[in-house]
Structure 1
Amino acid sequence: MDAVAHVKEPAAVRLAAPAAWDAEADDALVCRAVRAETHDVKTFVFAAREPRRFSHQPGQFLTFAFEIAGETVHRCYTISSAPTRPDTVAITVKRVPGGPVSNWLHDTVKPGSMVRAVGPMGDFSCFAHPAPKYLLLSGGSGVTPMMAMARTFHDLAEPRDVAFVHSARTPADIVFRDELERMAALDESFRFTAVCEGDGPGEAWGGFRGRLTLPMLELIAPDWRAREVFVCGPAPYMAAVKAMLAGAGFDMARHHEESFDFEALSVADTEAVEAAEAELDAAPTVRTFRVEFAKTKRAIDCPEDQTVLDVARKQGVRLPSSCSKGLCGTCKSKLISGTVAMTHAGGIRQREIDAGMALLCCSKPTSDLVVDR
């Protein structure tokens, strides 16, 4: 019998899990995928260590604790994925020149990497302000909460009239461009318009050019005064949009904005972030070690409180195994380097242990490992 034939498909296991993710019980998230959106923007897709479902409102954010150069650094990132796809949660990050966190994320975080987060938090969401018509205005990285909202309505096939206007430097800087244009082609109630300051490499921009203005908005969405308006982007962009709307006599009670500046957050959000950071700092730190498989050229990040086999399975690395109790010896492997804490049930002999062998089903890493698999 094939030693791995009884192993369930990991995707099926995740989809069958009814439990909700609870950061208080386990704040660790495992990176499942990294996707390049533009030349300097990446999306990082995370899942819980154990199969869990995420619940959030489109537009909310998570507070992360990243371990960078021996220090814990906190950052808030808006969730760019939709709650309609609850098995993973994603953030989309622009690389900022000299930015310690964005550069660390772009250069370091890969599938298998582990981070810590709590949340979701925030009241910047279309769910908090239901309306038949929406106007989503974003600039630069401010596209992320708008994308979560747009994706949610699209997935639910909600009969909502949504006008999405995104401002970017060049066509090459339009984040999610292909997806947004595809959504607009499929759904007549969803309209996407980009406004670019100039041409991009290899593409002369033929759409609206410059900065968003009231005459532009009148052409894009003539009924914009009848819409619930959400705005997100750099502080100068949001200030300009707010002044433009107020100057045109818009009912500012239907104007909602979100800031990436911690100091500009609402009192409620500021208090929530401070509580989240305290929660992350108070949580016991579980060390994570890098496990490399020499023959398959795969690598995973394995917490010290989990076995190598369990983590490898969850991250799609196929390894021979049978009993998973340290009894049969099927998962016996050579450790090229590193050490483990192993509690077996007789499936390995002392002379094999002395020769550097280990049972991966009952071995927890105590250092970085290289395994001959």
Structure 2
Amino acid sequence: MAKPQETANETWTDNEPLECVSILPEAPNVVTVCFQAPSGRSFAFEAGQFLTLELPVPGGPLYRTFTISSSPSRPKSLTITMKAQATSIGVRWIIDNLRPGMTLKATGPGGRFTSTEYPARKYLFISAGSGITPMMSMTTEIYDLGRHCDIVFVNCARRPSEIIFKRRLEHMAMRIAGLDLKWVVQQPDPYQPWTGYQGHFNQLMLGLMAPDYLEREVFCCGPEGFMQAVREALAGLGFDMDHYHQESFHAPGTPGPELVEVELPDDHLPQEDVAAEVVFDISGITQTCTETDTVLAVARNAGIAIPSGCTFGVCGTCKTKKISGEVHMVHNGGITDEEIEEGYILACCSNPRGRVELEI
């Protein structure tokens, strides 16, 4: 092993393996593995970046990519937090076989999903499940600076017991001003009262959690379906998507999966410079508009009264029958799948695509 003075000014590179020094259970099927460099070198990376581990599974090697959950402000060790899914092979091998003292080959760090890449005065971190890991790294780095920050930190999980880093983040929030934690769960744990948000993350929750979301730099990480819902919620509220960033896995080939900030799909989002037209069949009125106008706003401009309540797609008051055409609708539970199949839309959160005819 190299002498300490020989490595004091050197940083770890992926020519050297990582040594596992501890494994910490975080939540059901979730562990944090702490690594150090056998040489004693420090780690240099940006908060939010990732590593690819080479795992010696039977029939392997197997390559799996994980976001670094520790902060570069604590450079003597590096942690990776991972969750084993029902079909996991790599994470399952790590949980069942990796022990302190063992070493693994790794490549990286890499990735541009970092607060360093997109510095801002205000942040909105939105994550689900183990997607919390890059947010934890970025938040810890900001926390370690010791200055006032402005972070709205949203994490979604199935149950409170499955929220990763909950106690650690709450401890940080008690010791620094400006870290606002918001938890969303699908259901509470048995015999454990839950007074926080419950359900699926939606526009209404966003408005309550971060009323100034239009002013924030948004980072999102989680399953693709979750991220798509977040994108649509933000776009539907007029958010400038140039300030939205997300992290996803993809498999480019050898040596293994790579974690990158993906180019965002447009999801057929409404465009301000694209014309549209709404035909009110019973009223005999046709109104021109753009794709970013809601059907409710178009109706009001045409002098047609559609009953409405929340304007967030929750109450269902503005439910209207569509005869033909397509709309982009991002609702918050105010309409059922069966009603959508029958042609109904919520006027408050539906944007017309091309020509749309309504039974009103």
Q: TM class by shorter-chain length? A: 0.5 to 0.7
Secondary structure at the aligned position of 1:129 is classed as coil
Shift of 1:260: 2.9
Quote the residue 1:110 is aligned against: 99
1:22 aligns with 2:13: yes
- Secondary structure of the residue that 1:136 maps to in structure 2? strand
Q: Provide the residue aligned with 1:50 in structure 2.
A: 39
Contact 1:60 1:120 (8 Å CA) reproduced: yes
Q: What is the distance in 2 between the residues matched to 1:225 and 1:151?
A: 24
Question: C-alpha displacement at 1:270, in angstroms?
Answer: 7.1
CA shift, 1:13, in A, is 4.9
1:186 aligned to which of 172, 175, 178: 175
**1:256 corresponds to:** 245
Partner of 2:187: helix, strand, or coil? Answer: coil
Shift of 1:159: 3.0
Change over 3 Å in CA distance of 1:241–1:14 after alignment to 2: farther
Residues 132 and 161, structure 1, Cα contact 8 Å, conserved in 2: yes
**1:147 matched to which residue of 2?**
136
**One-letter amino acid matched to 1:139:** A
1:237-252 paired onto structure 2 within 5 Å = 237-252=226-241
Residue 160 of structure 2 is matched in structure 1 by 171
| Structure 1 pair 56–108 and aligned structure 2 pair: CA distance change class (3 A) | same
Deviation for aligned residue 1:241: 0.3
Report the Cα distance in structure 2 between the residues aligned to 1:22 and 1:152, rounded to whole angstroms: 21
With over 3 angstroms needed to count, the CA separation of the structure-2 counterparts of 1:233 and 1:181, relative to structure 1, is same
Aligned-pair CA distance for 1:57: 0.6
1:172–1:201 contact (8 Å) kept in structure 2: no
The amino acid across from 1:196 in the alignment is V
- 2:127/2:220 contact within 8 Å kept: yes
TM-score normalised by length of structure 2: 0.68
Deviates more, 1:214-223 or 1:28-37: 214-223
Q: How many Å separate the matches in 2 of 1:271 and 1:125?
A: 11
Number of aligned positions between the proteins = 256
Aligned to 2:188: 199
How far apart, in 1, do the equivalents of 2:6 and 2:177 lie? Answer: 31
* Structure 1 letter corresponding to 2:188: D
Runs of 4+ in structure 1 off by over 2 angstroms are 12-18, 260-263, 269-272
Whole-Å separation in 2 of the counterparts to 1:136 and 1:248: 17
For 1:206, the aligned partner's letter is: T
Residue 118 to residue 197, structure 1, CA distance change in 2 (3 Å): same
The 8 Å contact of residues 62 and 77 in structure 1, kept in 2 or not, is answered as yes
Q: In the TM superposition, what whole-angstrom CA distance separates every residue of 1:303-353 from its partner, at most 9, and x where no partner exists?
A: xxxxxxxxxxxxxxxxxxxxxxxxxxxxxxxxxxxxxxxxxxxxxxxxxxx
Gapped regions of structure 2 (runs ≥ 5): 253-257, 262-360
* Percent identity of equivalent pairs: 38
**Preserved contact between residue 171 and residue 203 of structure 1 (Cα < 8 Å):** no
Q: 5+ residue gaps in structure 1?
A: 1-9, 264-268, 273-373
SS in 2 for 1:128: coil
Post-superposition shift, 1:72? Answer: 0.6
1:127 alignment partner, SS class:
coil
Root mean square deviation, CA, Å: 2.3
Letter matched to residue 215 of structure 2: A
Look up the SS of the partner of 1:259 in the other structure: strand
Residue pairs, 1:283-302, within 5 angstroms: none
Q: 1:83 is matched with which residue? A: 72
Higher share in helix: 1
For 1:93, the aligned partner's letter is M
Q: How many angstroms apart in 2 are the aligned matches of 1:270 and 1:168?
A: 22
Superposition deviation, residue 201 in structure 1: 3.8
Give me the TM-score of the superposition, normalised by structure 1.
Answer: 0.65
- Is 1:33 the counterpart of 2:22? The answer is yes
Cα deviations across residues 253-281 of structure 1 (Å, max 9, x unaligned)? 00000013436xxxxx6799xxxxxxxxx
Look up the SS of the partner of 1:56 in the other structure: coil
User: Matched residues in 1 for 2:110 and 2:65: separation?
Assistant: 10
